[in-house]
Amino acid sequence: MQTHDTPKPTQNQPWRNWGGNQAFTPAITIRPTNEAELLEAARNAIKDNMAISVAGAGHSFTPVVATDGLLLDLSGMQQVTGIDSGSKRVRALGGTRISEFGEPLWKAGLSLGNQGDIDKQAIAGAIATATHGSGITTGCFSSTVTWMRLLNGHGEIVEIDENDLKQLRAAQVSVGTLGVILEVELQAVPAYYLREEISYETTEELLALWDENPHNSRHFSFLWCQAPESAALYELPTPPGLDMVGRAYTKRYWAEDLDEADGPVTEEGRRHDRAYNIYPGGFGLPFHELEYYVGVDRAREAWSALKDLILEQHPEQKYPIETRWTQADDGYISPFYKEDKVSLSVSGAPGTNYEPYLREVDKLLQEFDATVHWGKIHYLTRERADKLFPEIETFRQIRRDFDPHGVFLNAHTEELFS
């Protein structure tokens, strides 16, 4: 029986993602505020053979959340649940936003090892899709997972840890197909400050130092601009009067000490502050993004080919090419499985027909055996996935064990992982 504290289900309420390119109407939406409410709703759905999907912050551009069954909105379940300074590990509920980790970790003398430009994602969604920052010596969020509690398709709560590396490698990146992530543990690092340097290299300068740049700072990335309006589309501040065509908004971060008595440096382009204050910035305007990953040995060639594709065949496309480096990891369907990768990201403007352009980008990067960001627009097929991920069948078998009736699959994920 429903009590006055139980969240009331909402029927047939439309859902739309942050970027506005994914929309659907679940049969029921429930916004639990505690684990008991979540378990009751999910177990009832499993009993009724109803599909279940979980929504975090809605930052994915792919239909990973789409369902005509039960949608669990975990925005009401955010909490850092424990920090162990000795082991440098932090636990949090699956719905906790990345932005909520910084302050409590800092008080314990710790930091997340890396972050991306956006910190509004739910940690469970960031893990499930292998979301990352940039740094050749740092991995994606998923690579830091050491323990997890989840509700599987049997309605059981399962704990996964380093004592069963096979299950852990599957759970680290699962695109939401193993179950509902209730709570997760991440490996943190000692607290650190970051010093920022923003520069505006030309195409020639970037290519000349392509191999050296990623190794000369803790974090290195750049957004190459092909048109006068490119930088503004991602809200990138640039010096007045500087022609950004053929230049890149280039970000370098070094880990350094800071005397907090003197206060942080807030000047644009040379900030110096706690790491969690430096990472996020910009990217507030909606866009529809594709992000593919190429091995470091072929990345320079792939980047140049992508640049030429834009200039020669798609001059109407104005969004920059964002380029980042990420360290290899062991997640079975991680796009960084056993290989350091360089991410090549482009976007289409909402409300325009960018599909032909992104299809051509996909075709081009196939030649470089590119893997994909599971939460961003991609055109990966089951056949291609089988060739790219040597352990994908291991992942599929574990997924079947966790969810034999496909409660946590939808049309998008079933094609890839059933």
For the stretch 405-415, pLDDT in tens is 999 999 999 99
Q: What angle do CA 358, 359, 362 make, to 5 degrees?
A: 85
User: Looking at the predicted structure, is the pLDDT value of residue 5 above 80?
Assistant: no
The helix/strand/coil state of 308 is: helix
Examine the pLDDT at 166 and tell me if it is beyond 80.
yes
pLDDT at 121: 94
Q: In the structure, what pLDDT confidence band is assigned to residue 137 with cuts at 50, 70 and 90?
A: very high
Query: Which of 180, 177, 59 minimizes the C-alpha distance to 414?
Result: 177
Q: What digits encode the pLDDT tens for the residues 180-213? A: 999 999 999 999 999 999 999 999 999 999 999 9
The yes-or-no verdict on residue 135 having pLDDT over 70 is yes
- Does residue 173 register a pLDDT over 80? yes
pLDDT-derived band at 304, boundaries 50, 70, 90: very high
* φ, ψ (nearest 5 deg) of residue 135: 155, 120
Domains in the chain, CATH or no CATH each: 77-191 (3.30.465.10), 193-378 (3.40.462.10)
Residue 19 φ/ψ, nearest 5 degrees: -75, -15
pLDDT in tens, 214-260: 999 999 999 999 999 999 999 999 999 999 999 999 999 999 988 88
Q: How many residues would you count in the chain? A: 418
The sheet with strand 247-256 has its strands ordered as 272-274, 193-199, 247-256, 219-225, 321-326, 341-348, 288-295, 371-372
pLDDT-based confidence at residue 4 (cuts at 50, 70, 90): very low
Gap between the Cα atoms of 333 and 389, Å rounded: 6
With a cut of 60, say whether residue 1 has pLDDT above it: no
The pLDDT tens digits of the residues spanning 249-284 come to: 999 999 998 888 788 999 989 999 999 999 997 777
Q: What local confidence, expressed as pLDDT, does residue 59 receive?
A: 87
Alpha-carbon distance of 397 to 71, in angstroms, equals 25
**Can you give the pLDDT at residue 263?**
86
389 Cβ neighbours under 8 A, 6+ residues apart:
332, 333, 337, 371, 395
Report pLDDT for 306: 98
330/347 Cα distance (integer angstroms) = 28
pTM for the complete prediction?
0.95
Strand partners, 181: 150
Amino acid at 262: D
The band of 6, judged by pLDDT with boundaries at 50, 70 and 90, is low
Tens of pLDDT along 351-402?
Answer: 999 999 999 999 999 999 999 999 999 999 999 999 999 999 999 999 999 9
SS3 411: helix
Instruction: Annotate 65-133 with three-state secondary structure.
Output: CCCCCEEEEHHHCCCEEEEECCCCEEEEECCCEHHHCHHHHHHCCEECCCCCCCCCCEHHHHHHCCCCC
pLDDT of residue 3: 43
What is the per-residue pLDDT across 59-111, written as a single tens digit (0 to 9) for each? Answer: 899 999 999 999 999 999 999 999 999 999 999 999 999 999 999 999 999 99
Alpha helices per DSSP H over 286-354: 299-313
pLDDT at 245: 98
Taking the C-alpha atoms of residue 185 and residue 136, their distance in angstroms, rounded to an integer, is 23
Q: State the Cα–Cα distance between residues 368 and 137, nearest whole angstrom.
A: 22
Does residue 12 carry a pLDDT above 90? no
Per-chain mean pLDDT for the chain: 96
Which residue bears the tokens 């740094």?
135
